[in-house]
Amino acid sequence: MDRAGVMLVFDGDIILGARSHKFSESKLDAFGPINWGLHGEVRIDIRFSDAAKARHDRPLQYQPGFEPKIGVYTLFPGFPASTLVANIERGDIKGIVLNAYGSGNISYIYLKAIELATSKGIAVVVTTQCLEGATLMHLSDVGRQALKSGAIQAYDMSKECILTKLMWALKRTSELGEVQTIMHTNYTGEINVEGKLYGAET
C-alpha cells in the first residue's frame, strides 16, 4: 500500500515504528504506541489513520551508521553527580541520555556535569522516566539553566527512539548544535516540539 514509514503490526494494530513500545513480555497485545494513536488497524481491510502519509516520489537516502558509545543514566534520589562527572572525564562516551523526573526535572547538582559534558563536545539529552508525556524543561529554573548549559530536551520521543536517534545523529556530526537540530527534526512522526495534543484518530 502507498504508505510511508516503518511500522510494527501486532495483534491487528499498526503502530508507527518510532512510537512503538513493548508493554508486556507475554500478552498477545504486547506492543503499543507512546504519545501517539494507532497508525492503523488490520481488520477485513487495512485502515490507516490520517497521520499515515503517502510515500514521497524520491530516491531512498541510505545513511547507515550508529555511534555506540552512549551512556544512559536513570536518576534517583541520591544519585551522585560524581558518577556522571567520572564517566564524562574518562572520555569514552560521545553522548548521554538522562532519564529525569516528571517533565524532565533534574536537581541543581547535575548542572555542572551537563556543563562539563557539553564543554567536551558530549551531547546530553534529557527525557522523562514517565512512559507517557513530554519534557517541559523551560518551565523550571533548573531546567532553563540545563538548557542554557547545552542540554537537549527530548520532548515526547520514546526512550527507544531517543537512543537510536542520538546514536544516528552522533555518527553524522560531532557539532552539538547540529546534534540538537537532528534530535528536534521530525523525520517520521517521532517528535512533537510544539506541545500540541499528540497523535491522530484512527
Residue 57, pLDDT score:
82
71-104 as b/e: b if 16+ CB within 10 A: bebebeeebebeebeebbeeeebbbbbbbbeebb
Cell of 50: 490520517
Give tens-digit pLDDT for 124-136: 999 999 999 999 9
Domain 70-183 is in which class? alpha beta
Say how far apart CA 27 and CA 92 lie, in whole Å: 39
Domain range summary for the chain, segments of one domain joined by +: 7-48, 70-183
pLDDT at 55: 85
Q: Which residues of the chain have pLDDT under 70?
A: 195-202
Q: Which of 153, 181, 174 shows the shortest CA–CA distance to 95?
A: 174
The model carries a pTM of 0.90
